[in-house]
Amino acid sequence: ETGVTQTPRHLVMGMTNKKSLKCEQHLGHNAMYWYKQSAKKPLELMFVYNFKEQTENNSVPSRFSPECPNSSHLFLHLHTLQPEDSALYLCASSQTYPYEQYFGPGTRLTVT
């Protein structure tokens, strides 16, 4: 595997389910990110991890819970989601500032 991988690519879940999104980077980077991309809306940064430490949490509801066990892996745990949480969730990684971020293919999430 190369670059940034995300699983699953598609996910349909009910509002009472619990699921997790996984991201793995094979680039040796030390920062990882979760973004949300909704239709007709700008990219929204959700969480930033630097060297496994969370450095940003942009007022994300608690039903989204990130986990970064090491610099190569990032998870987004989901529970009790709302239909408006349906979106494309993108993971990215980078060296620390000022370097470019590399993105995974995303997980298309649908909450029913």
Partner 1 sequence: AQKVTQAQTEISVVEKEDVTLDCVYETRDTTYYLFWYKQPPSGELVFLIRRNSFDEQNEISGRYSWNFQKSTSSFNFTITASQVVDSAVYFCALSDQNTGNQFYFGTGTSLTVIP
Min CB(95)–partner 1 separation in Å: 9
Q: Which is nearer to partner 1, 46 or 111 (CB)?
A: 46
Tokens (6 digits) for 59: 């007022």
Distance between CA 98 and CA 65 in Å, rounded?
26
Contact predicate 45/56, CB 8 Å: yes
Give 25's contacts (C-beta < 8 A, 6+ positions apart): 3, 4, 5, 32, 72, 74, 91, 93, 102, 104
Among 56, 57, 77, 82, binds partner 1 (CB under 8 A): 56
Tokens (6 digits) for 107: 């997980």
Q: Is 103 in the site for partner 1 (CB under 8 A)?
A: yes
Binders in 57-76 for partner 1, by CB under 8 A: none
Which residue reads 């598609």 in tokens? 10
Q: Which is nearer to partner 1, 7 or 55 (CB)?
A: 55
Distance between CA 58 and CA 106 in Å, rounded?
19
Binding mask 11-40 for partner 1 (x = CB under 8 A): --------------------x-x-------
Binding site for partner 1 (CB under 8 A): 31, 33, 42-43, 45, 48, 50, 55-56, 88, 90, 92, 94, 96-106, 108
